[in-house]
Amino acid sequence: MTPEADRDGRDGDALHLVAVEDSIVIGTCRLLIDGELARLGRMAVEADLRGRGIGAELLDAAERASLRAGARRVTLHAQAAAERLYARGGYEPRGERFIEEGIEHVRMEKCLSSG
């Protein structure tokens, strides 16, 4: 992601979640809540620590935070390489694949509550 694309002016409106190990941030994501919809973005885990469940733990924490904030579903743009992580967490693809910042993505969504 280019620095310009990363600076959308929404960080102050967002909830930022981090995974920490030995006082070092090893993973992060950002949630933007708009009523019953949460938009998850900026998900990242240190490359050499991937595959240890850190991303799944961040997703779980993001879903709990979304529910506390009143959201009933979460949407995200998954990089094609990370689609399986989100699918294992119950996210389903919506629509066609697209290119964002030169990387193939798919929009995915998960319903958090039937109410």
pLDDT computed for residue 113 by the predictor: 76
Q: What is the mean pLDDT of the chain?
A: 91
pLDDT digits (tens, 9 = 90+) for 42-77: 999 999 999 999 999 999 999 999 999 999 999 999
Domain with 8, as residue range(s), is 3-111
In the sheet with 103-111, reading across from the earlier edge strand, the strands are 15-21, 24-34, 37-45, 73-79, 103-111, 92-100
CA distance 101 to 6: 10
Q: Please count the structural domains in the chain.
A: 1
Q: Can you give the CATH number for the domain in which 87 is found?
A: 3.40.630.30
Please state which of the ranges 8-17, 78-87, 88-97 shows the lowest mean pLDDT: 8-17
| Burial class for 102, CB neighbours closer than 10 Å (0-12, 13-18, 19+) | exposed
- Which residue, 23, 32, 27, 10, is CA-closest to 82? 27
